[in-house]
Amino acid sequence: MRESGILMHLSSLPGPYGIGSMGKSAYHFVDFLEKSGQAFWQILPLAPTGYGNSPYQSASSCAGNPYLIDLDTLAEEGLLTKAEIDSFPWGQDPLRVDFGALYESRFQVLKIACGRFVPGEDYWKFLEENRDWLPDYSLFMAIKNHFGGKPWLDWPQELRFRDPEALEKMRRTLEEEIRLQCFMQYEFMKQWQALRAYAAEKKVRIIGDVPIYVPMDSAEVWTEPELFQLDEDLYPVVVAGCPPDAFTADGQLWGNPIYRWQQHAATGYEWWIHRLRAAGKLYDVTRIDHFRAFESYWAVPYGDKTARGGAWVKGPGMDFLRAIRNALPDLDFIAEDLGFITPEVRQLQVDSGYPGMKVIEFAFDSREESDYLPHRYPVDSVCYTGTHDNVTVKQWFDEAAEEDVAFAKAYLGLNSEEGWVWGMIRGGMGSVSRLFVAQMQDYLELGKAGRMNFPGTLTNDNWTWRAEEGFDADALADRIYTMTCMYGRCPRRPEPEAEETEETEA
């Protein structure tokens, strides 16, 4: 079945409190997706943001981002007043997330709500169902806040090495902060489950992301350091990144600790199974970021200033993927197989059975034929105009080489009446890929200001884009719906019921 979807993070939705949330605008967007004939809403990770305000550098793989909790919903529940919410600053620009204002205000507001919260049966059930990660995460965050946000490597030695007596002392000392962390996770999950149930009613499925790596300053590394390549002092031996390429002369130095894959294999990949099972509770389909690292990964010596000194090291391959398939047979995955792809990586993607990704923006290098040209796509693939890490389509046309733009115009049959951006969207809609996904920014024909992230950089523009109020207008939904149906990607309509006649009744 041919389908399509739209990529847009919750944080990009409009709203009054500095960032998109799981409130009314999210429900309106689900309605917009239904009107547009879209079967999928693809979002970025829902985890708390970390270094560089990135949801891919989160302190937890299982936790939800408290910034996304809708404050108006808490007010409706009697946990906040509108006056209390409005008394805090939420940023000056409604089209940009102000993470500094959120950091200063959001937790103070949620602390007020937590003080009024009376735990009930649902809350205690939530704690029990999440006992495999929530106690460690809530303690981790409470200690981190106690020390002014310092990474755990800078904590006192007895806490770095998780001395049981020291941990128990902190649990008693930080009891109220731990309660706040548990409350925020409970409210996040309650609101998310309600939104996801609404999407399911509208026949809209959720595609989420699981970053392949976790950051050094995370509950996971602090809790189970033996699963990562760390030295006896708990510092990384090697860190993750990407080798130099045509875009980055020094490569990309991500800095995440790399897994000790032999240890994971010895446990039957238990940690990964737990992580992906948690993702399955949030999403209908999970996109596994940087899939190629399961075949081989770029390992950079810890302390290097660039990624140039790294080397390729073999990953766990099909042994890992078979374990995931056997343990989680009902979960659907997408392999993010972009970047430096070798025949071995391609074979692993094929053997996994997970559809790979095709990005139209990568197709029009006039110097050579590309695997990203739509006529070369396999059916079992996901076609994107571009991802959150790429330029918007309009920006691509504004900045690409003249000969590449000329190639795209000729290949796609672009014309001024339709518009170049919509012509590229048409190229993806018309491809043979089972699933087509476009960024919301592309449907809105936004240029550079609409870009979500520029990998390998730290700027105030990354992860901050927000849509204007009214972006999800019916006229735009109608235009998307028309194109979606033209290329056979609309949801199947129910057949009209046959009218009963005297003959059938007889």
The residues annotated as belonging to the active site are 289, 336, 389
Tokens of 425: 């969207």
Please give, one letter per residue, the 3-state secondary structure of 298-341.
EEEECCCCCCCCCEEEECCHHHHHHHHHHHCCCCEEEECCCCCC
For tokens 């409970």, name the residue. 186
For tokens 């001395």, name the residue. 163
- HSE-CB at 238 with a 13 A cutoff on CA atoms is 17
* 67 to 146, 148, 222, 270: CA distances (angstroms): 20, 19, 23, 30
Burial class (CB in 10 A: 0-12, 13-18, 19+), 243: middle
Contacts of residue 284, defined as CB under 8 A and 6 or more positions apart, other chains included, come to 205, 206, 207, 332
| CA 108 – CA 114 distance, rounded (Å) | 10
Give yes or no for a contact between 150 and 81, defined as CB atoms under 8 angstroms apart: no
How would you label 198-234 residue by residue, b for 16+ Cβ within 10 Å and e otherwise? ebeebebbbbbbbbbbbbbbbbbbbbebebbbbeeeb
Tokens of 241: 């990144």
Q: Which residues pair with 208 in a beta bridge?
A: 286
Q: What is the maximum span of the chain, computed from C-alpha positions, in angstroms?
A: 85
CA torsion sign for 479, 482, 486, 489 is positive
- HSE-CB at 165 with a 13 A cutoff on CA atoms is 2
| CA 177 – CA 107 distance, rounded (Å) | 11
| CA 18 – CA 21 distance, rounded (Å) | 9
Tokens of 465: 């884009």
CA torsion sign for 486, 488, 491, 497 is positive
Determine the straight-line distance between the first and last CA of the chain, rounded to whole angstroms: 38
* 155 to 128, 140, 146, 160, 286: CA distances (angstroms): 29, 11, 10, 6, 34
Give yes or no for a contact between 210 and 171, defined as CB atoms under 8 angstroms apart: no
Q: What does R_g of the chain's alpha carbons equal in angstroms? A: 24
Please give, one letter per residue, the 3-state secondary structure of 267-290.
CCCHHHHHHHHHHHHHCCEEEECC
Give the SS3 label for residue 5.
strand
| CA 491 – CA 2 distance, rounded (Å) | 9
Phi, psi of 300 (to 5 degrees): -110, 130
